[in-house]
Amino acid sequence: MNDHLKLDIEVPANMAGRRLDQAAAELIPDYSRARLQSWIKGGQLTLNGATAKPKDKLFGGEQLSLRAELEVQGSWIAQPLDLEILYEDESLIVVNKPAGLVVHPAAGNPDGTLLNGLLHHCPSQEKIPRAGIVHRLDKDTSGLMVVAKTLPAQVHLVDQLKQRTVSRQYDALVQGYITKAGRVEAPIGRHRQNRLKMTVLDFGGKEAITHYQVRQRYRAQTLLRCKLETGRTHQIRVHMAHIRHPLVGDPLYGGRAKLPAEATGELIQALQSFPRQALHAAELALIHPSSGEKMHWCAPMPADMLALLDLLDRDQVE
């Protein structure tokens, strides 16, 4: 990745009257408006060779000059982790994250996260905000994540997430018997009493839409394929609990396991002790930030979910 940025652009006449930061965001779309504002304030992005303010008005015909060097974005440390990388090129990395791996350092998990492993795998990630991470999976959700390797790729992918051109599909094993496909549209926000939880809110929540299809019905559980239209924290977990079909094993939203009548002791034990929410990010599709090509990846269901499904399959025929 080139850490030294050099760019000269003439402001077109039709941008007369616009703020400098607004015009810069249109003329230099590879970088976020917040970063461009930072460069304007720091003097790396100049107007006619002089420092300016983001809110300065333009007349048209001015010369914008960008001379910037990407800086280290955090104090994280690189750590060797056994990452399962399904795809990598100069713009992005696609990782199959195992259950139990935290994505980003936080108070309870200062290191040993996916971010620390990415910095070891590709040290230049330290120059990108959040080491290129553009979306997250919960610690105990497995599956596919895309990571940007350059600032332009990160801006492009974040915009795709906003425009909903990134397709994310999940395998979810839920409690109860679901007969047909459906759609949950219910706004999500932080739970007012339990700050660890998210919940459906009548007022003040963010728009959240989940589509689901039935892949396999069992006697007291259903395997769904869920597709996110939005990407809120805990979205599938909250939406499935909201329609009274929480995920098997979910410690926050799951409640008591539903048990098939006269189930074997092995199946009862497996359902009651499944150690995480039975959720796996199985498919990811997006538009490549550099080539514009549509790309698609699949990650097979992990062993713990496959073993539980095998027990449920056997329960169907016994």
- Dump pLDDT digits (tens) for 206-251: 999 999 999 999 999 999 999 999 999 999 999 999 999 999 999 9
Q: Which of 5-9, 90-94, 95-99, 199-203 has the lowest mean pLDDT?
A: 5-9
pLDDT digit string (tens) for 271-297? 999 999 999 999 999 999 999 999 999
**pLDDT value at 75 more than 80:** no
CB under 8 A, 24+ apart: contacts of 25-28: 27/64, 28/64, 28/66
Tell me the average pLDDT across 152-156.
Answer: 89
Of 30, 111, 138, 313, which residue is the catalytic one? 138
Whole-number pLDDT of residue 8: 87
pTM beyond 0.85: no
Tell me the average pLDDT across 115-131.
Answer: 91
Per residue in 9-31, is it b (16+ CB within 10 Å) or e — as a string?
eebeeebeebebbebbbebbebb
**CB burial of residue 101 (10 Å; 0-12, 13-18, 19+):** buried
**pLDDT value at 94 more than 70:** yes
> Is 138 a catalytic site residue?
yes
pLDDT digit string (tens) for 204-218? 899 999 999 999 999
**pLDDT value at 181 more than 60:** yes
Instruction: Write the DSSP assignment of 182-235 as a string of letters.
Output: EEEE--EEE-SS-TT-EEE-SSSPBP-EEEEEEEEE-SSEEEEEEEESS--TTH
